[in-house]
Structure 1
Amino acid sequence: EMVPHGYAKDNKEAAEKAILAGSDMDMESRAYMAELPKLVQEGKVDPKFIDDAARRILIKKFEMGLFDDPYRFSNEKRQKEQLNNQENRKFGREFGSKSIVLLKNQSNILPLSRSTKTIALIGPFGKETSANHGFWSIAFKDDNQRIITQFDGIKNQLDKNSTLLYAKGANVDDQDKSMFAEAVETAKKADIVIMTLGEGHAMSGEAKSRSNIHFSGVQEDLLKEIAKTGKPIILMINAGRPLVFDWAADNIPAILYTWWLGTEAGNSIADVLFGTVNPGGKLPMTFPRTEGQIPVYYNHYNTGRPAKNNTDRNYVSAYIDLDNDPKFPFGFGLSYTQFKYSDMNLSSTNLKGNQTLNISVNIANTGKYDGEEVVQLYIRDLFGKVVRQVKELKGFQKVFIKKGENKTLNFTLTPENLKFYDDELNYDWEGGEFDIMIGTDSQNVQTKRIN
């Protein structure tokens, strides 16, 4: 890459610069293999640089025991034990269901009843297999037999008197609408529709930038056509990144972000749809309203002329045509139950530098289901040598609370938690005022100020 970047004239010059800089191994360009012999012959590279590089590589191989047994990490018995290992699959199913994020559940449409008479699964991901492994995964010959599709996962949990219909509706990424009519007719036969949309599994990952991060192809058009039937819709979004889906977020009653959940994807999803698992996942990134809002993140700086509120647009650092906040904030995620935060207490509001701040908060499960909540602790350093972020995540705890019960959670903050790099790259903290925030996500927090 040094050549196209303009740092080296050709592979020969790139190899010379790299070996002299101490780069021991060339993994992709093969420039070392082709060019180093010539560079040594021409006297441009002293053989000691080759020897040093080889020595460092060989030392690591000796340390790993590869000269005693080059196949020491190959074990056919272990390979057979781990391939399609049922304990691993059980764990995969569990963490798949825990990874799902419930973004919307209007009128508590979820969880579904297993005795729902007719359900229609519509969308290009309903019967996908290998796609559930996401990008940079290796396809195996038996993927179609091993990987649990969304269709099979749902069907396996429905009562025997219930029916699951399926229509693909659209391809992942083209303009073909010829399957819309069949999908609409399928939806009309159902009591409830599950739409499975998103982006192709190889659309996010290394070298997969997109200028448009809406649902690819005509999937959003398909969703709007199905919505016209008036049937209740649950939308599942398959993606490896935040997508923009404002119309769906505003018009579809229930939305689950299902990412790419692996071999047990269909079972993980069905566990959440039918309430075997109460979703407790939280978004690990901020979801924008539109591409023009990117980059968007919770721990930004108050630069320019900070807006006073979400709709402040008059000569401030904001959009004149868009609310300032994201569509879904960092840390966001709903549950089938409800959690009420109360009694946030601080051990002191005036501390010395060697003291620890103890923070407690009460969380009550006021809903109808047992559930897990991820309680998040943020701080804001109001003034510093260098501008500080409006929020910094300093701790989080996942807690399981049975319906009707409550728990008190405790957090601690010490000066170590307040450190940052100043304008001279000193890693230290400064005294002053701090906002302490606890909440269910980065936007919905209780706040108290300390000095």
Structure 2
Amino acid sequence: MKQQEILDLLKKMTLEEKIDQLLQLAAEFYSENAEERTGPMADLGLTETTIANAGTTLGVSGAEEAIRIQKKYLEKNRLGIPTILMADIIHGFRTIFPIPLGLGSSWDLDAAEKMAEISAKEAAVSGLHVTFSPMVDLVRDPRWGRVMESTGEDSFLNSRFAERFVKGYQGENLKEDFSRVAACVKHFAAYGAAIAGRDYNTVNMSERQLRESYLPGYQAALVAGAKLVMTSFNTVDGIPATGNKWLFREILRKEFDFQGVVISDWGAVKELIPHGVAKDEKEAAKQALIAGVDIEMMTTCYSNYLRELIEEGQVPVELLDEAVGRILELKNELGLFEQPFRGADPVKEKEIVLSNEHRAIACEIAKKSMVLLKNDDILPFKKEETIAIIGPAAASKKILGAWSWQGKSEEAISLVEGATSLSKKLLIGNEVFDYLEPTTAAIQEALLLAEQADKVVVALGELEEMSGEAASRSDIRLPSAQLAFFQQVLEVNDQVVVTLYNGRPLDLQGIDEAKGIVEAWFPGTEGGRALAAILWGKYNPSGRLSMSFPETVGQVPIYYNCDNTGRPFETTPDEKYVSKYLDVSNYAKYPFGFGLSYSDFRYSEISLTSDELTPTTEITVSVTLKNQSAYAGEETVQLYIHDLVGEVVRPVKELKGFKKVQLAPSEEKIVTFSIDESLLRYVHSNQEMSSDAGEFEAMVGPNSREVSSVRFNLKK
């Protein structure tokens, strides 16, 4: 459909039809069972006519159902306008990949793009058109449950992942490539900065901090072509995002030049009332449309009050036409006017969804996401060793994590199953071992197995429901029953490796005596097979943390790129009156970028091609990396920069580049990074990006803490 045809279609629409295009309803409203519709219809005050014309649909499952709903919709829509089918496809459709925080810890952009590509392929053949992903919210507080949907604490790294997620979901041409889906970047803006890590809570920060740390991830996704943006539940400078005109009209539309669709999060338009900025649904509708929200998800403020607001002159009809025009254009970009069923195909669905090929790729990506946190010469296991695998996560298949909407736990590979394919010398229990309240029989059986083994895997972690939306925790330690069990195991066998399934960085107090710790996150469908491959040395761990692990929750929020202070701890650590705790270190237990390998990588001192940089030149920083071990491996070499004197206070270091380097045993390579003036820019007090002349420090190393440095000057 051409642009003029969309304009002509818009002119044919009645006011009610336009308003209905702005409504998104869940799939249950299109159920063939009238009784299933009755309750929800009554709750929202909907008529069958409104339902028939609602512009987009949420949470449809399966190709046959998608085709049925689209057919029914087109039969009743006067102008033959198709609906868009949307859903939360966050880290896989049916083939579930590691949670995004795990994907972030892979530092592997190709893997992220492949995950999104496969997710899109499975979703599209099952009839879906849009995914509510990627979530690019910057997160520095692991108490927040939705940290599992983020790729971590660093704006630069998040931005690179955002770009590749969008590319993987959308491909090159959505109108012709029906194996892809449109991406919706979320949550705009700063949702990950909720005070105290409590979901849906207030966000309070300066505009400069918002621009420098939080907006770049969204902008990167938009530059990559994301078709939609979702509003966040939180406030931005005291105004809820869903009613924030400055955020959407000024920043998103004007500054970022975003031409696509803005959709509210679930119920967020009506939530302007409990926020206390709208007195009723009518006022909420007015604020949201004026702010720039095109689609209202699962509340009916627009449906009930936009006609009245327009007739009263409180809302210009032009704003309605703009919103409808954007929705029609999205339908056009998806090719729905020509092919309303798009990629939905019940036959191909059975071949593509959860195919062996997809499972194999999910396994490889899960391996890349896992992080070896500790290894006191206990890993990898040797084939002649007898290994006991015990604990609540040993045989658990509930390893998919939150937002694995279509994933099925029974299709997942447990650690025990993965290990069985690699070793014949395993001791495995029969008792079900509960995560929170294990029975005496389960504990006794596990301890007996541990006593008989050469080494022990104690498989611990969170329940799936302990992280994700509405799953904030003030205590991010492992459950007390698990910590007690760990101590019991040590009494019978101290050769212990702890494996962790979880959706956030944890306070790992209580398992310090483990000789090995493997962070597996919630690794997805093939998680147990991937974890076993690492434990038995079939895969050399290469994951690096994309978010810091605190020593204790009392340090939270803790992140590597903190600002300088007037009394830095580093200068006089024995002085009382400096910025420090009395009872714990200032530093993370496991910092951003950290991760061990079975290889032994050694870095030379770094060097620069010049110690002087100008706005029109660049310099190269180099380091020689050598693998001093018998294991071939992959190292993630990281570049950080520190602006020593800025117009505003600058972070102690900032990630500005990274390279993944494969080295054979005894091999060495020179790794280089180019630095130009653009890498030195930041948001100044006037809210504009620029750089300062003066001295800078370039740092290279295996993580944000262990770096060597060299200085250079920017001259203007």
Map 1:9-408; keep pairs closer than 5 Å.
9-37=279-307, 39=309, 45=315, 49-106=319-376, 108-116=377-385, 118-129=386-397, 131-139=398-406, 143-144=409-410, 146-159=411-424, 162-166=425-429, 170-174=433-437, 179-248=442-511, 250-308=512-570, 311-312=573-574, 314-408=576-670
Q: Deviations over 1:180-221 (max 9, x none)?
A: 223222211222110111111222222221000001241111
Whole-angstrom CA distance in 1 between matches of 2:597 and 2:540: 6
Distance in 1 between residues matched to 2:431 and 2:557, nearest whole Å: 34
Q: Is the 8 A contact 2:696 2:712 kept in 1?
A: yes
Q: Return 164-173 or 195-204, whichever deviates more.
A: 164-173
Change (3 A) 1:325 1:51: closer
How far does the alpha carbon of each residue in 1:294-333 deviate from its partner, in whole angstroms, 9 at most, with x for none? 1111111012421126954511111011111110111000
| Aligned equivalent of 1:438 | 700
Of the structure 1 ranges 413-422 and 84-93, higher mean CA displacement relative to structure 2 is found in 84-93
Contact residue 450 and residue 493 of structure 2 kept, 8 A:
no
CA positional deviation for 1:354: 2.3
Task: Quickly say closer, same or farther: Cα 1:334–1:21, change in 2 above 3 A.
Answer: closer
User: More helix per residue: 1 or 2?
Assistant: 2
> Any gaps of 5 or more consecutive residues in structure 2?
1-270
Distance of aligned partners of 1:10 and 1:188 in 2 relative to their CA distance in 1, 3 Å threshold: same
CA–CA distance in structure 2, aligned partners of residues 127 and 233 of structure 1: 17
Are the aligned partners of 1:150 and 1:266 in contact in 2 as well (CA < 8 Å)? yes
Measured in 1, the distance between the counterparts of 2:419 and 2:572 equals: 40
CA 431–39 in structure 1, closer or farther in 2 if over 3 Å, else same:
closer
Partner of 2:35: none
Report the alpha carbon displacement of residue 32 of structure 1 after superposing the two structures with TM: 2.2
Alpha-carbon distance in 2 for matches of 1:168, 1:310? 54
The alignment partner of 1:180 has SS state of helix
Alpha carbons 1:353, 1:431 under 8 Å: kept: no
Q: For the residues of structure 1 that align with 2:603 and 2:472, how far apart are their CA atoms?
A: 39
Cα distance per residue 1:87-146 (max 9 Å; x no partner): 22111111111111111110x210101232x321111112222x22111112556x42x3
| Structure 1 residues without counterparts, runs of 5 or longer | none
User: TM-score, normalized by length of structure 1?
Assistant: 0.92
CA distance in 2, matches of 1:427, 1:188: 61
| 1:361 CA drift (Å) | 0.7
Matches of 2:407 and 2:563 in 1, distance apart? 46
State the distance in 1 between where 2:406 and 2:687 align.
47
User: Are residues 97 and 7 of structure 1, via their aligned partners in 2, closer, same or farther at CA, if it must alter by over 3 Å?
Assistant: same
Does residue 418 in structure 1 map to residue 680 in structure 2?
yes
Counterparts of 1:177 and 1:135, CA distance in 2: 30
Aligned partners of 1:167 and 1:186 also within 8 Å = no
Tell me the C-alpha RMSD between the 2 structures.
2.2
| Aligned residues of 1:238 and 1:260 also touching (Cα < 8 A) | yes
How far apart, in 2, do the equivalents of 1:309 and 1:104 lie?
Answer: 29
Given that residues 391 and 459 in structure 2 are in contact (C-alpha distance below 8 angstroms), is that contact kept between their aligned partners in structure 1? yes
**SS of structure 1 residue aligned to 2:274:** coil
Could you tell me how far 1:45 is from its partner in structure 2? Answer: 4.9
Distance 1:22 1:380, change over 3 A: closer
Alpha-carbon distance between aligned partners in 1 of 2:628 and 2:572, rounded to the nearest angstrom:
29
CA distance in 2, matches of 1:294, 1:168: 37
SS in 2 for 1:240: coil
Q: Alpha-carbon deviations, 1:341-390, whole Å to 9, x = none?
A: 11422111233332211111111111221111111111111001111110
Aligned length: 443
